[in-house]
Amino acid sequence: MEKVRFGRTELMVTKVAFGGIPIQRLTTEQAVKVVRGVLDLGVNFIDTANGYTTSEERIGMAIKGVNRDSIVIATKSGAKDKKTFLENLDLSLKRLGVDYIDIYQHHGISSEESYAQIMGEEGAFEGMMEAVQSGKVRFPAFSSHSIPLSLKIMKENHFDVIQLPFNYVDDTAAEEAIPLAKQLDMGFIAMKPFGGGLLSNARLSMKYLSQFDNIVPDPGIEKLSEMQEIVSILSEPVGFTVEEAAAIEREKLELGDSWCHRCDYCQPCPQSIGISGVLTVESMIKRVPPDRAVSMSSENMDKARSCIECGVCMTRCPYNLNIPKLLKERVSFWDKYIAELS
């Protein structure tokens, strides 16, 4: 499979990465088989996270015996302090069965407060720098859902790689973040290229992303057939037919009024509802095992029932979403999901 230069890291990576969230839903044997199958297709870039339960461990089993220099591994820690960060890093190394991680990311920096903690005294970034100096990490990176904060962090030039949500509906990164990454020669991982499972047309999704020559999408893969289809699409010429372009525009119009970008500008909610968690619950359900979905979301979904429709969130949402209406819809969806599990 064709490889591309991944920014100033100088790593040569395939034009698509393997996203490690969905293999949590499989048995260990199934997960290992999927990862090995993806590697056999020629994909050499794997992206996961410390917080994805069994994902790192299963990837570690799958890559055992594989030439370490032939694969690029990215993973993440959500720790804000140095001590926990270094503990997470050592756990990632142990689970993956490797001596170093190519790209290690501060996971989900989406507020000024969390960024200040990470960059402060005894913060996680001190741990990152220590890990780079010791050779446990090759390239420091971060992921986020906030475009404005990401632009600020990118300009401070502490990191070699950024990961942001990007697909043909959630396309805000195309305006400034992707051009800035190109200008700074940063590697760019396109998170949620299928909208966390909400975009079902792989051809439209991948052909849209193929227009951007400095990004690498990392779709979450649960079945080998999914990556086989993606690899096949990426072998096609770049560009859309008139019909494909029209289909994208139709879907953007249909989904635009309900698509939560997880920027959290709507917060704080007077009722303490984690709004973005409620609005993206369908995506989460499609990516994690049912028992984890329930443990992660039950409390917040119950809080969503307390919405008093004050409208404060709507005045803050930059995408003009009718949040109270969407909260009701997601609670109804959740109730049906729980009933089906019973």
Interval 46-65: pLDDT, tens: 999 999 999 999 999 999 99
Mean pLDDT computed over every residue of the chain: 96
Token pair 């220590």 in the structure block, residue:
130
Region for residue 131 given its phi and psi (left: phi exceeds 0; alpha: psi -120 to 50; beta: otherwise): alpha
For residue 140 the two structure tokens come to 């420091």
Among 56, 94, 53, 86, residue whose Cα is nearest residue 74 = 56
Query: pLDDT class for 215, splitting at 50, 70, 90?
Result: very high
Condensed to tens digits (0 to 9), the pLDDT of residues 10-45 reads 999 999 999 999 999 999 999 999 999 999 999 999
Interatomic CA distance for residues 172 and 252, integer angstroms: 13
Among 250, 291, 310, 334, residue whose Cα is nearest residue 25 = 291
State mean pLDDT over 258-276.
Answer: 93
Interatomic CA distance for residues 106 and 144, integer angstroms: 9
Beta pairing, strands 187-191 & 18-19? unpaired
pLDDT on residue 237: 85
- The amino acid at 114: S
pLDDT on residue 240: 84
State mean pLDDT over 186-200.
Answer: 94
